[in-house]
């Protein structure tokens, strides 16, 4: 096919229908797969994971800025996790107003009191950004959050570049197809898990994926698991409820599940209140934290990823405490921050409430939750804040400036959904992996990226929440 322009392709209805069919087949061919809603725990029936028909243009300079700052964010998260005074101060108000964070913090206090059993720390995180549109038409990289637990889609993101390259080739957009970067977060996440397993020092020990009851996104996990099997590292999958009867600690605090020693616990679950269905679930979490197994994340790293910590890091002078005599690192990290405001009781929090009520469309109200679909926008901000403005309950939230990305046209491919051109917004995630043993950082890498795109009619929600779809950056 002769070279055509992207606009000509977008407006050619017959071509779009044919491309969509080819794209879905390519997704199935290359393993961009999810289980179905009807059979979420069966691999008998699979479908393609939702994705964009075309990759989304992303400015090369901000894309590389996001990759370059990731190793600094890895170090920042790790240093926060080692600073009990900072964590106690930062979360003092939140643990009183948010029961879930409070329970996590109780485990943290218990472990601090007893002493950590394991000096090996593994972090597999993902820093998420949007590109804020400036008045001069340029884009600024602004962080939405950093995920320190169960950062997903590293597996499927490793398979989508091939799909989009194929779509662009079929469409006759050959030059654009060459601007889709190779991307393999699954390999990097697997390297981190393998390194922690190796340092643990027992060839018979296993890596345990702690998983949810409903596992539609199991293929995303499997790509990471296969990186371990390739190295002859055994993996097992367990739910909280599976462990209550089968888990034990020996006299040396080694963790065993059905007589298998566990070297690494990889949390792909445990980040939402509903993941802890009973007090037994909390006891299971405490037992794992007490154990000699490497936790990804351990409880202090989990708390380092809370929204309240994110807001406190934006205060003047705080980053400098974690990076003394490294002004360039501080500048690189701070450049990604947008406005973040406390809602704690007191004059500063009162001012934040007043500011949000006066202009709610300028802000996002964020609870201490992960997993997508939790943030509050527009008039709903007023309703929530009016209800808690005079109460310590407001400390369960933070306020953030709303990032304003430039919408682009694209087609979102979903099973059984009609094919229509949508105005879309995208979110860039960057995966980091680090391993520390005692005082030595033995691995610190940026291991890949993830682009997710949604229709601009939706304010919030990720792929797992059923709103966003997988995408790839087309560097421009």
Contact 433, 191 (CB under 8 A): yes
DSSP string across 345-410: SSHHHHHHHHHHHH-GGGEEEEES--SSS--B-THHHHHHHHHHTTSGGGGGEEEEEPP-PPPEEE
Let me know if 253 is a catalytic residue: no
User: Distance (Å, rounded) from C-alpha 101 to C-alpha 458?
Assistant: 27
Bridge partners, 367 (sequence order): 397
Strands 56-58 and 473-475: parallel
Cα-only R_g, the chain: 22
Would you call 283 a catalytic residue per the annotation?
Answer: no
- Answer yes or no: 245 catalytic: no
Backbone φ and ψ of 454, nearest 5° = -140, 160
Give the DSSP letter of residue 274: G
**Cα separations (Å) of 353 from 21, 31, 54?**
49, 47, 41
Residue 226 region by backbone torsions, left for phi larger than 0, else alpha for psi between -120 and 50, else beta = alpha
Give yes or no: 366 in active site: yes
Catalytic residue, from 35, 307, 436, 454: name it: 307
| Catalytic annotation, pick one of 432, 452, 454, 472 | 452
Residues β-bridged to residue 399: 341, 365
Q: Which of 74, 97, 127, 152 is catalytic?
A: 152
Q: Give the residue among 249, 257, 149 at the shortest CA–CA distance from 208.
A: 257
Catalytic residue among 35, 142, 295, 366: 366
Q: Which of 370, 402, 444, 448 is catalytic?
A: 370
Q: Is 126 a catalytic residue?
A: yes
> Is 452 one of the annotated active-site residues of the chain?
yes
Measuring CA to CA, which residue among 164, 186, 13 is closest to residue 470? Answer: 164
152 is catalytic: yes
Checking DSSP bridges between strand 260-267 and strand 206-210, what pairing results, if any? parallel
Query: Among residues 24, 126, 239, 369, which one is catalytic?
Result: 126
* Structure letter (DSSP) for residue 271: S
Selecting among 74, 93, 125, 147, the annotated active-site residue is 147
From the CB of residue 279, how many other CB atoms can be counted at a distance below 10 Å? Answer: 9
93 given a catalytic annotation? no
* Active-site pick, 31, 81, 142, 145: 145
Is residue 57 within a helix (H) or strand (E), and if so which, with residue range? strand 56-58
Q: Does the active-site annotation cover 139?
A: no
Q: Which residues are catalytic?
A: 126, 145, 147, 152, 307, 366, 370-371, 452
């Amino acid at each position: 096919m002769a070279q055509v322009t992207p606009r000509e392709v977008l407006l050619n209805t017959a071509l779009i229908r044919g491309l969509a069919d080819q794209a879905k087949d390519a997704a199935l061919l290359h393993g961009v797969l999810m289980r179905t809603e009807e059979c979420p725990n069966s691999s008998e029936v699979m479908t393609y994971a939702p994705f964009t028909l075309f990759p989304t243009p992303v400015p090369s300079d901000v894309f590389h800025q996001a990759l370059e700052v990731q190793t600094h964010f890895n170090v920042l998260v790790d240093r926060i996790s080692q600073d009990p005074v900072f964590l106690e101060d930062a979360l003092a108000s939140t643990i009183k107003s948010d029961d879930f964070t409070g329970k996590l913090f109780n485990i943290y206090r218990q472990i601090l009191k007893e002493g950590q059993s394991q000096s090996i720390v593994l972090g597999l995180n993902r820093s998420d950004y949007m590109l804020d549109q400036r008045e001069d038409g340029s884009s600024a990289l602004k962080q939405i959050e950093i995920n320190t637990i169960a950062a997903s889609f590293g597996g499927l993101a490793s398979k989508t570049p091939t799909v989009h390259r194929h779509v662009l080739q079929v469409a006759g957009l050959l030059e654009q197809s060459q601007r889709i970067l190779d991307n393999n977060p699954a390999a990097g996440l697997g390297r981190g898990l393998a390194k922690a397993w190796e340092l643990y020092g027992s060839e018979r020990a296993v890596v345990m994926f702690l998983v949810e009851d409903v596992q539609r996104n199991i293929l995303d996990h499997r790509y990471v698991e296969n990186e371990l099997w390739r190295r002859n590292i055994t993996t097992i999958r367990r739910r909280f409820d599976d462990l209550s009867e089968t888990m034990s600690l020996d006299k040396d605090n080694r963790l065993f599940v059905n007589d298998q020693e566990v070297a690494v616990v990889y949390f792909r679950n445990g980040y939402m209140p509903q993941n802890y269905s009973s007090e037994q679930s909390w006891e299971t979490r405490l037992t794992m934290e007490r154990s000699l197994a490497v936790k990804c994340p351990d409880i202090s790293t989990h708390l380092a990823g809370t929204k309240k910590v994110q807001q406190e890091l934006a205060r003047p002078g705080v980053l400098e405490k974690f990076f003394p005599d490294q002004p360039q690192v501080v500048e690189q990290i701070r450049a990604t921050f947008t406005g973040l405001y406390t809602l704690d009781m007191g004059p500063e929090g009162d001012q934040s409430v007043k500011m949000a009520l006066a202009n709610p469309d300028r802000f996002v109200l964020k609870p201490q939750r992960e997993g997508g679909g939790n943030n509050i926008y527009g008039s709903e901000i007023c309703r929530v804040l009016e209800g808690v403005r005079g109460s310590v309950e407001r400390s369960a939230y933070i306020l953030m400036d709303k990032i304003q990305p430039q919408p682009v046209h694209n087609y979102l491919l979903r099973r059984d959904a009609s094919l229509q051109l949508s105005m879309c917004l995208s979110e860039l995630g960057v995966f980091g992996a680090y391993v520390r043993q005692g005082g030595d950082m033995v691995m610190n890498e940026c291991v890949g990226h993830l682009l997710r795109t949604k229709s601009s009619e939706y304010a919030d929600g990720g792929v797992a929440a059923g709103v966003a779809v997988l995408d790839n950056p087309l560097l421009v």
